[in-house]
Chains A and B, each alone.
Chain A
Amino acid sequence: MSSHYSDKFVYHEPGLQHQFDDMGQQEESVSIGMWFFLVQEIMFFGGLFTAYLVFRSKYPMAFAAGSNHLDAFWGGLNTLVLIVSSLTMALTVYYAQKGNRNMQVILIVLTMIFGATFLGVKAIEYTDKYNHGLIPVAGLNKKVKAEAGAEHSAAEKPCWEVDHNAPPVEHPNPHGEFIWTDCSLAKMALDENILTASEKNQYLVRDENNKPVIDANKFRDKVRIFFFLYFVMTGLHALHMIVGLGLMTWLLWSAFKYKYNGDYYMPVEMSGLYWHFVDIVWIFLFPLLYLLGRHFIHGG
């Protein structure tokens, strides 16, 4: 055993911290630490996935309806962007090990561009939700004044006959409430008798003939839970992306300064692990949120 503190002539490798004996021990420690950090991240998101699971199995039609409103094109594009950014990140680690500074810088910049693209697309999507009154917290949506004397088709027709391609101006929303007027999926499920027990309990009221019919407001509340989970899950994911971009900025600076080479590249590798983890979370979020309802669109 060497004892560093008593021997000032011991060669210190540049990145070696005082508490370690050698780089091997340091790399092993940092690596185990990062993996356990990612495990706690999984548990963190795990709570949300549990909530998703519970409510999706309780209210499948409300979740399908909400999911159909998400644009699978944007979601798919973001999936593609993130997968490619994982490739550039992995290549960054490779070139850090090789000590190739120029390739590191180029690849980190590319990774950052992809990350920023992802966040830009997310911003477009969030704006769309804002315009359509789909943010689940009342008051946070775009406030649309009710036009005096205008006819509101939504108010007259039953909720399962609402034309959901109608422009948003048809839904006046003076207080920025959460708005959802279309319950055609629930109606379809009611007609085909595939509503779950908790759905029957929670969507339906009795009409004057004592026949069960869909209650528009009750159905809306369940769709709101879908959008709540959508915003919390993608929001937390986006927060992790922003932290990742911060890490990338730091890496870019250090790589630019020739800090990483075959002997010292752990910061790159650890940031890479983090980046891949955030990607993988998205790989789960995309099908759960964007694709789940598409099965029902054409009555399939």
Chain B
Amino acid sequence: MNAQEAISTGYGGAAKLNYLTNGTTLKSWLLTKDHKRIAIMYLVTVSAFFLMGGLYAATIRLELLTPASDLVESGTYNKVFTQHGILMIFFFLIPSIPAILGNFLIPIMIGAKDLALPRVNLISLYIYWLGGGLTLFALMQGGVDTGWTFYAPYSTTFSNSFVMLVGLGIFINGFSSILTGLNFIVTIHTMRAPGMTWFRLPLFVWAHYAVSLVMVLGTPVVAITILLLAIERVGHVGIFDPTIGGDPILFQHLFWFYSHPAVYIMILPGMGVISELISNFSRKKIFGYEFIAFSSIAIAVFGFLVWGHHMFVSGQSIYAGMVFSFLTMVVAVPSAIKMFNWTATMYKGSISYDTPMLYAIGFMGLFLIGGLTGLFLGAIGLTVHLTDTYFVVAHFHYVMVGGQVIAYLGGIHYWWPKMTGKMYSEFWGKISAMLVFVGFNLTFFPQFILGYQGMPRRYASYPEEFQVLNIFSTAGASVLGIGLLMPAVYLMHSLFFGKAAGDNPYMHPGLEWRTSSPPPTENFEVMPVVTWEAYEFGEESGMDLEAAKQREAVTA
């Protein structure tokens, strides 16, 4: 029996080759064009960056345990929070869901053999490694202290840290993001299986279409901004230096033109994951499919029109501020549409509280708080009081961690059986999901109060009256840290000792559950023809419900 026949012999054949066993040499991984292997390599690297960013976060929280600047001095503290931000944003949050789950799932979800441009996909991984490697090298040389925003003229004239090297790392890394987004757009346009119309696409795919638009349209602008910054730093030509006629506000405009949409790069894929989780674990067709799909596109479009709300107090015209404030309120609407539709989907659904669903429910609570506090900051009057306080820190952590990281963890847990073929411990999964939720709230809710009371961000020391809430926050960070480390342990454990998951452990109708776990290199034994709508749970889904149930009974 040759390898090709082995793939098509159906379920349970011992010799069945999947994408993990089809080639075991290092070369077969490093030169692969298989989107699934590339996704696994992203998973390993992104997790390493997440760990490093987390260690910086731990340092920050430990320093803030006491009012004085005693664990690290102020200069070091500047580097610590800068590097926490750079690693987490550019090397963890932005590639997390798109490059790992998106890469792995989009071709399978639309019924294709691979992404449209597999070589470009591999190149983007190498670019990510190159950019990440350069940045790590710069951090080992001594790091950077400008804040992740690189505001000029501090970054161009005054900072004595490794701005150039880190800037180069981020510049290079940006092209990884651009190429990934471009690949997704092309794939979703041209690679859909017969019958997989636009409105049968899973909402995860719609979210990734929207996020890809933002990646392709936004990232080049920050690339050119970093280039200008670098020339200004080396040659001092004066473009961002106000003392000789340059314009630092221009830097902020160019920077936030990318970096605000980048916030949506960080949250939109999470929303895609949550749409999948909520609908599937409620075993109910999602409420308002078209509204959720188009709200993703609306977020991508409006996300490009609100960057000025980062500059309310930095010298931007007051009339521009009013327009940006209004548009910021507008961009909240599509997010709210998603929240309402998810809630309506759960209503009268048959909800099962598996680990991924716990994460999804956690997401809804945390994202709600994160989103609503965003309206406080978008209100042009109130924001004068709140700018650069811990209120801002708490707000974006509620969205970035409470939103994207929680969704990422939910997604990893949900598709882990598909990616590895193994089931993790449900017990420990639930424990860790709840620890993350509790620990997260304990960490960041006190920061809303701290910020409202006026504690500024980015300082190593603070007045003594803020200490109690900071102790709460640091204690919460410890719980959160344990909650985040636990999956690393039990997921790795499941790789070696977990029970076989079966092809469709949750009895869900998506295309990814209609192939084997792990999938073969070509994704499907017989290329699918789609005759059902998204999120069909009954007979209309075309699934062999009886056979699937029996298989589940065997594997469970």
Q: How far is the CA of A229 from the CA of B240 in the complex (A)?
A: 12
Q: How far is the CA of A20 from the CA of B187 in the complex (A)?
A: 11
Q: Which of A194-247 contact B (CB under 8 A)?
A: 202, 218, 221-222, 224-225, 228-229, 232
Q: Is A284 an interface residue (CB 8 A)?
A: no
User: In angstroms, how far is the closest chain B Cβ from the Cβ of A230?
Assistant: 11
- Return the CB mask of B327-345 against A: 1 if under 8 Å, else 0: 0000000000000000000
Which residues on the A side are within 8 Å of B193 (C-beta)? 1
Q: How far is the CA of A224 from the CA of B231 in the complex (A)?
A: 13
Q: Is A137 an interface residue (CB 8 A)?
A: yes
Q: Is A167 an interface residue (CB 8 A)?
A: no
Which residues on the A side are within 8 Å of B112 (C-beta)? 19
In the bound complex, do residue B224 and residue A44 qualify as a contact, i.e. CB atoms below 8 Å apart? yes
Question: Residue on B with the closest CB to A39?
Answer: B216
Contact of A36 among B194, B216, B257 (CB under 8 A): B216
Question: Residue on B with the closest CB to A62?
Answer: B245
Which residues on the B side are within 8 Å of A51 (C-beta)? 228, 239, 250, 254
Q: Is A174 an interface residue (CB 8 A)?
A: no
In the bound complex, do residue B220 and residue A136 qualify as a contact, i.e. CB atoms below 8 Å apart? no
Question: Residue on B with the closest CB to A25?
Answer: B190
- Return the CB mask of B501-544 against A: 1 if under 8 Å, else 0: 00000000000000000000010001101000000000000000
Q: Which of B230-277 contact A (CB under 8 A)?
A: 231, 234-239, 244-247, 250, 253-254, 257
Most buried by A among B8, B112, B244: B244
Number of A-B contacts (CB under 8 A): 131
Q: Which of B182-234 contact A (CB under 8 A)?
A: 182-183, 185-187, 189-191, 193-194, 216-221, 223-225, 227-228, 231, 234
Q: Is B311 an interface residue (CB 8 A)?
A: no
Which residues on the B side are within 8 Å of A6 (C-beta)? 4, 7-8
Q: Is B113 an interface residue (CB 8 A)?
A: yes
Q: Could you say which of B82-90, B114-122, B475-483 contacts chain A?
A: B114-122
Q: How far is the CA of A29 from the CA of B250 in the complex (A)?
A: 37
In the bound complex, do residue B245 and residue A19 qualify as a contact, i.e. CB atoms below 8 Å apart? no
Residues A218 and B235 in contact in the complex (CB < 8 Å), given A6-B4, A19-B115, A36-B182: no
In the bound complex, do residue A32 and residue B186 qualify as a contact, i.e. CB atoms below 8 Å apart? yes
Per the CB 8 Å criterion, the residue count for chain B at the interface is 53
In the bound complex, do residue A5 and residue B250 qualify as a contact, i.e. CB atoms below 8 Å apart? no
Contact of B220 among A47, A58, A59, A137 (CB under 8 A): A47
Q: Which of B1-44 contact A (CB under 8 A)?
A: 4, 7-8, 33
- Return the CB mask of A29-67 against B: 1 if under 8 Å, else 0: 100110011011101111110110011001100000000
Q: Is A3 an interface residue (CB 8 A)?
A: yes
Q: Is A28 an interface residue (CB 8 A)?
A: yes
In the bound complex, do residue A54 and residue B247 qualify as a contact, i.e. CB atoms below 8 Å apart? yes
In the bound complex, do residue A218 and residue B247 qualify as a contact, i.e. CB atoms below 8 Å apart? no
Contact of B237 among A3, A32, A40, A137 (CB under 8 A): A137
User: In angstroms, how far is the closest chain A Cβ from the Cβ of B256?
Assistant: 12
Q: Is B138 an interface residue (CB 8 A)?
A: no
Q: Is B469 an interface residue (CB 8 A)?
A: no
User: In angstroms, how far is the closest chain A Cβ from the Cβ of B305?
Assistant: 15
Which residues on the B side are within 8 Å of A45 (C-beta)? 224
Q: Which of A1-26 contact B (CB under 8 A)?
A: 1-3, 5-6, 17-20, 25
Q: Which of A147-201 contact B (CB under 8 A)?
A: none
Q: Is A124 an interface residue (CB 8 A)?
A: no
In the bound complex, do residue B117 and residue A29 qualify as a contact, i.e. CB atoms below 8 Å apart? yes
Question: Residue on A with the closest CB to B250?
Answer: A54
Residues A221 and B238 in contact in the complex (CB < 8 Å), given A40-B178, A43-B218, A47-B225: yes
In the bound complex, do residue B186 and residue A232 qualify as a contact, i.e. CB atoms below 8 Å apart? no
Q: Is A138 an interface residue (CB 8 A)?
A: yes
In the bound complex, do residue B220 and residue A41 qualify as a contact, i.e. CB atoms below 8 Å apart? yes
Most buried by A among B183, B219, B246, B529: B246
Which residues on the A side are within 8 Å of B522 (C-beta)? 3, 5
Which residues on the B side are within 8 Å of A229 (C-beta)? 239
Which residues on the B side are within 8 Å of A221 (C-beta)? 238, 244-245
In the bound complex, do residue A47 and residue B254 qualify as a contact, i.e. CB atoms below 8 Å apart? yes
- Beyond A5-B7, A19-B115, 7 additional pairs, beta carbon < 8 A: A28-B189, A28-B190, A32-B190, A43-B217, A44-B224, A228-B231, A232-B227
A residues at B contact (CB < 8 Å): 1-3, 5-6, 17-20, 25, 28-29, 32-33, 36-37, 39-41, 43-48, 50-51, 54-55, 58-59, 136-138, 140, 202, 218, 221-222, 224-225, 228-229, 232
Question: Closest 4 A-B residue pairs measured CB to CB?
Answer: A137-B235, A47-B224, A44-B220, A19-B114
